[in-house]
Structure 1
Amino acid sequence: MEWIRRYVTQRSAAKREGLSNFEGVLMPSVRKLIEKNARDIYGLRVIPVDVFEFEVDDGEESYVVNLTNKTCHCGSWTLIGIPCKHAMACIVLRKLDANEFVHEAYHIERYAKTYGPKFHGMPGHKMWPTTTFAKPLPPPFRKMPGRPDKRKRKKEADEGKGGNKAATVVREYKPRKCSNCGDLGHYKKKCKNPPKPPTTKEKSKGGRPKKGSSSTQQLTTNDMPCTSSQPQTQSASCVIDQISQIK
């Protein structure tokens, strides 16, 4: 906010100093525009309809100009408040003063009133008088609905690397831990160390045995006891009976 106050103060002072170089009734830029429009009236055909109302032919188009209402159908005069070339053709035809048809906002007198109020200097904040009022607090934070915007806002001059480094928020660095050997600084894909031995917690963990491990035993026909009269050979009916009992 401080740079805004100083910018407005310097601009107002510069505008007041520039008023001494202005001459006449209108601002220099407005006077140049009127002179340009006055040079462009050649080739226009002006047809008087009334004392202050005209039809102006500009090529294939025709525009109605009313000097009393300060209007032209081209819209330029109404938009910026400066007579267009169609209006200037009518003003020259009636031998009137073009300054009277310009909006008063472009007059030097109004310009001087705009930048008339002066700004006074302000000391540093350490010299400000203390008050008993409570310090202003920021509004309460409210989380807006929807996905948060990922675009970063533009930082001020005293934020981040460009200003006060203490205001920079640095993310806490956490070193990587390898899941194979347990060391820090690398991960399993680039690990060259042997795997770490299992801990007591990992040994005590129960769970379903993995497929194909030694703890699982597959039941085969050789391990099944057979009640047949022939101990050396197994009949097909004996195997089917044993399988049905297991199910």
Structure 2
Amino acid sequence: MKLKHKGDELREAVWCCGKVYNIPNFNRAMEKLKKLNPEAHEWLSKIPVKHWARSHFSDEARDKPIITCLEYIGEYLTKRIVNVHKVLDKCKGSLSTTATTILENNKTDENKMRVLFNGVDKYQVTGLWMEQYVVNLKERSCTCRKWDIIGIPCKHAIAAMYDKMQNGSECGDLEAWVGRPKKKRKRAVDEPTQSTKLSRKHLTVTCSKCHNKGHNARTCKGQGGPSEAGKGSEQKGKHVVA
């Protein structure tokens, strides 16, 4: 983009397309880019959105042999983890400085919104410009998609939380709501897990030596009485003699 289409105004327009979270705002940002520079819009439209963001190590490692590339990625991630821990050690609360700042900024706008509870788990939140969003506190999601993507409650979600607390329901600390929702539901204690292997739960073990039940060949000491295999052969022999 920098090589073919230059200019601060064009750069800001492209960043507006990359920063939005939902599809309607993305389409509006792309329309503004199209009016500003049709050629840049056409060039950008040919690239899938999932390829817009590139990792920091791609330029330095992508042209290396596969083993060297993997070693470089491993070292890069190790350094990155160490840097993240250094940042967390400086944080006073349970959240990072960036997450705390975003959360505090979202708190300032919550009192400007109108909240309507649907009676179950969802809230309809109306903003200053009459834009409407649906917040699901149980699934930790909002139709603006900010909470879903970055894992920090958006201003619509915070407005719904405060409305819930004002109506006498426990909502807990806002910091406890930070984090992306879990994709998998919690299973019950007695619920079987999905697996390609047959479960051996509730099955009786049969010894391969004495053919008695309740133990295996490794722990076999003749327990369980006479061998069932011996009984079967004895009964079979009597039948033949008769």
- TM-score normalised per structure 2: 0.37
Question: Which structure features the higher share of helix residues?
Answer: 2
Bigger Cα Rg = 1
- TM-score normalised per structure 1: 0.37
